[in-house]
Structure 1
């Protein structure tokens, strides 16, 4: 997954990183890797921090818009890395991060949701992000159920009760999700 993600970042990096004089040519590859690691670290933190609905929703819907919390977190993460590793000012770092991260995350969501594109597999992504804690879970089935609406129990909020409603009788899934969330 990481190799495919870095390739996706390279495809989107163009003027923002590769052709940007603020990032010297010898640091282009490092900047691309930092963008990829920002996305991976943000997704890991989102899953462990209880934002599973945000992450699954992004993949289930096949889109990640710039205003989505997880996209904003990844953008901020990359901005911080650009400032600390390359000495960019906040304006430069913000411009680069906002040009790259939302586009990459949107492409990642689209490719993962597209059944005809096998470059990203939801099960493989979650297994890697969770350190294998999602092995054995039918994440594609979960995504299919999420496409029908996240508030499965109809109480107006998104919580573990929604997952229970989606997977009645699936206590092991709930137990795994609870373990994955910390």
Structure 2
């Protein structure tokens, strides 16, 4: 997950950071790395608040809505971090973040919605955000997907348990709601 994010940031960071005269060249790589860390931490913080529905909604969209509160929050977090860590003016950090974040998130959305692109999977993202073992999380997700219909986890009655169902259940109590339904609590 982090590798894919880093590649996307390198791709879209060229104009916003490398070609930006207001950002000293010796900081280019560090600014790009911090951008990735800040995006990931923003998503991780949201996941820790048991609100995977916003992340799921963002990744399932066909196109990026730049007015989405999550997009704005990530942009502000990246801008603040760049300003604080590299002493960039608020205008410079806002400009760089506002230029990069929509492109980066649009690329992630495209990868998440492209069945032919195996470089990015939502289960990898969920595992990374949960901070756990990806293989273990994949096993848990597979078990929930396989058996979840029998435990009432299929919130949209489409015959499978997927990210849409998890998003709906997260609105009803986060992971506690999912596991409460699964274990009858």
After TM superposition, the score normalised by the length of structure 2 is 0.76
Q: Report the structure, 1 or 2, having the larger helix content.
A: 2
Distance in 1 (CA, whole Å) between partners of 2:174 and 2:74 is: 26
Worse overlay, 124-133 or 71-80: 124-133
Equivalent residue number for residue 137 of structure 1: 141
* 1:97/1:52 CA distance change after superposition, 3 Å: same
CA distance in structure 1 between the aligned counterparts of 2:173 and 2:129, rounded to whole angstroms: 23
Shift of 1:40: 0.4
Alignment-derived partner of residue 171 in structure 1? 182
Q: Report the equivalent of 1:124.
A: 124
Looking at structure 1, the residues matched to 84 and 174 of structure 2 have their Cα atoms a distance apart, in angstroms, of: 40
Range that drifts further, 134-143 or 90-99: 134-143
Q: Could you list the per-position Cα deviations for residues 77-120 of structure 1 after superposition, in whole angstroms to 9, with x for gaps in the alignment?
A: 11111111221111111111100012101211210121111111
Normalised TM-score (structure 1): 0.77
Cα RMSD of the aligned pairs, angstroms, is 3.1
62 and 41 in structure 1: CA distance in 2 versus 1, 3 angstrom threshold: farther
Distance 1:86 1:164 in 2: 39
* 2:46 matches 1:46: yes
| Unaligned stretches of 5+ residues in structure 2 | 146-160
Structure 1 window deviating more from structure 2 (53-62 vs 114-123): it is 53-62
* Structure 2 residue aligned with 1:106: 106
Alignment correspondent of 2:151:
none
**Larger Cα-atom Rg:** 2
Cα deviation for residue 20 of structure 1 reads 0.6
In 1, the alpha carbon distance for the partners of 2:173 and 2:128 equals 26
- Retained in 1: the 8 A contact 2:43–2:55? yes
Contact 1:16/1:96, CA 8 A, preserved across alignment: yes
8 A Cα contact 2:51 2:171, kept in partner: no
Q: Flag structure 1 segments of 5+ consecutive residues without an equivalent.
A: 153-157, 176-182
